[in-house]
Chain A
């Protein structure tokens, strides 16, 4: 494989949740615009745009969940750690994140059970006739991807020696 091709693949791998979630949000907005336009001009909406926009939204939520995990910006309460030295904080953080990863996998597994049984007896969506299982597949996928990105972040930070910044608040970083 040429160097260019590997660098493209590398870029895709690094950013694909971002590309996927932005595309989904874009599709969602486009569908909604079509819907409003059709309703105002033609008098009645296009039913498929409503359905597609909801599906796109669902995909956006779960692909972006992995992206947010990569940025380390999921909503969590961290103020209780402020009085603790960063080294201890890091210990707690790694402990918590390990539990998080385990439950991510567990939820993905239970969710996959539902999706795969849904694929055996496919249920079609009302207007687009998409198998519901394919749409819902994003849920287990999102949870697995989240775990993957959490582990990856730890590995990258460990290599760069920036592990401690994971648990530092914005204003503490500025002090240095």
Chain B
């Protein structure tokens, strides 16, 4: 049997993924195979695609949001946000669990990354939960689940990548994520509460009874920290800032609060934050470079059109097509890291959406929420790894602990699939994304 170039490319990619070749290199090698056997493009396309793929200005927002998130952690901003939330809900059943989810939601509005949120909030709340008699499993699973909300609530790095690759307005995506983000946050809180009730975890004994004066004092003390999400989201939603500018504003604001107000930020912290940003560039954004090359090959081989034809032969109903994609994403998500999945799939899937008639904003939200599950599903669930290190229990035990949260997420995904208005209403009402 004679293999077509496209078949060779896909087999090569599969084999190298299985061998454990770094994702960026697997993509590059498959492209080299196509160039060698296809012979229709010069080898210079390797260099040029990698360069063009990274020479995109909005990409710069991604390392900037990571730097901002790290600075907020060192500058005590995260700490103060947790403190305020704890006073509000700390005494309920599973109060610290709910605190964790709410603090993650708040923090998500500052940082763009899931594992980053788990690390920032979990570092403070996992030990606190264990001290208050919650099980390690619960503490770790609540924190890793809370960390997924970061993807949906803007600013969100996966959304930026999706917008760039899918040619959708970043601001429209950010606006679209607002309502689904809070919906998922609320569902997560309910899950945290009901699991805690069943297991008999009471509220935080160390939190004194609610006292309006103390509460107001805490708010006053943490005023500038609490303002952070409003500054960042406000600047994006008002149209004052592009995402890149908002990311820079986030860094500037984090430095202002960390240095001038909280007096906690030292030069070494700034260095560490910049290093965090650099590491993300080298590990994740490098994949954007080689995937641009890979995408060019796929386009040449008309892979998106063929995939669309194959899917259309199964069903032409947009809802069923979406469910099929969700199924594939959940399985891929067990083995792949969120941003890489989006980087690889979006160029392939986008042309199909137009054919089937799926709204690109609606699809973006589904893609991002489904990828939230990927952060929680073993064997590769980055949030689980972070939480396991913080709580000092095995990944297997957390994987069982997060099951109720996964079920909750799945329910949210289905609701969002069947009611596209939840995602599209806000951006279209505000006249974006047309």
Given A18-B275, A67-B278: A28 in contact with B60 (beta carbons within 8 A):
yes
* B28 / chain A contacts, CB cutoff of 8 Å: 103, 107
When the two chains form their complex, are residues A68 and B18 in contact, meaning their CB atoms are under 8 A apart? no
Return A16 CB to nearest CB of chain B, in Å: 13
Q: Please, how many angstroms separate the alpha-carbon atoms of A71 and B280 in the complex? A: 13
Q: Is B286 an interface residue (CB 8 A)?
A: yes
When the two chains form their complex, are residues B281 and A61 in contact, meaning their CB atoms are under 8 A apart? yes
Q: Please, how many angstroms separate the alpha-carbon atoms of A65 and B286 in the complex? A: 7
Q: Is B374 an interface residue (CB 8 A)?
A: no
* Contact of B388 (CB < 8 Å), options: A36, A81, A171: A171
Q: Please, how many angstroms separate the alpha-carbon atoms of A170 and B386 in the complex? A: 10
Q: Is A144 an interface residue (CB 8 A)?
A: no
When the two chains form their complex, are residues A53 and B20 in contact, meaning their CB atoms are under 8 A apart? no
When the two chains form their complex, are residues B336 and A77 in contact, meaning their CB atoms are under 8 A apart? yes
When the two chains form their complex, are residues A99 and B21 in contact, meaning their CB atoms are under 8 A apart? yes
When the two chains form their complex, are residues B60 and A100 in contact, meaning their CB atoms are under 8 A apart? no
Q: Is B282 an interface residue (CB 8 A)?
A: yes
Return A24 CB to nearest CB of chain B, in Å: 7
Return B10 CB to nearest CB of chain A, in Å: 16
* A75 / chain B contacts, CB cutoff of 8 Å: 22-24, 283-284, 287, 337, 340
The secondary-structure label for the interface of chain B is helix
When the two chains form their complex, are residues A67 and B279 in contact, meaning their CB atoms are under 8 A apart? yes
A71 closest partner in B (C-beta): B279
When the two chains form their complex, are residues A61 and B54 in contact, meaning their CB atoms are under 8 A apart? yes
Return B375 CB to nearest CB of chain A, in Å: 14
When the two chains form their complex, are residues A114 and B44 in contact, meaning their CB atoms are under 8 A apart? yes
Q: Is B360 an interface residue (CB 8 A)?
A: no
Q: How many residues of B contact A (CB 8 A)?
A: 63
B67 closest partner in A (C-beta): A29
The secondary-structure label for the interface of chain A is helix
Q: Is A26 an interface residue (CB 8 A)?
A: yes
Q: Is A162 an interface residue (CB 8 A)?
A: no
Q: Please, how many angstroms separate the alpha-carbon atoms of A45 and B394 in the complex? A: 51
Q: Is B46 an interface residue (CB 8 A)?
A: yes
* Contact of A77 (CB < 8 Å), options: B284, B380, B388: B380
* A81 / chain B contacts, CB cutoff of 8 Å: 20
* B378 / chain A contacts, CB cutoff of 8 Å: 79
Q: Is B331 an interface residue (CB 8 A)?
A: no
When the two chains form their complex, are residues B44 and A22 in contact, meaning their CB atoms are under 8 A apart? no
* A100 / chain B contacts, CB cutoff of 8 Å: 21-22, 25
Given A100-B22, A103-B32, A170-B389: A79 in contact with B379 (beta carbons within 8 A):
yes
A23 closest partner in B (C-beta): B274
Return B392 CB to nearest CB of chain A, in Å: 8
A-B contact pairs, 29 of them (CB 8 A): A22-B278, A24-B278, A25-B277, A29-B274, A32-B247, A33-B252, A36-B241, A54-B60, A58-B51, A60-B63, A61-B54, A61-B281, A61-B282, A66-B282, A67-B279, A68-B286, A76-B22, A76-B23, A78-B380, A79-B378, A80-B20, A93-B20, A96-B16, A96-B20, A100-B25, A103-B25, A103-B28, A115-B47, A171-B388
Question: Could you tell me which A residues sit within 8 Å of B by CB distance?
Answer: 18, 21-22, 24-26, 28-29, 32-33, 35-36, 39, 50, 53-54, 57-58, 60-68, 71, 73-82, 92-93, 95-96, 99-100, 103-104, 106-107, 110-111, 113-115, 136, 139-140, 170-171
- Please give me the 7 A-B residue pairs with the lowest Cβ-Cβ distance, nearest first: A64-B282, A79-B379, A74-B22, A21-B278, A111-B47, A68-B282, A114-B47
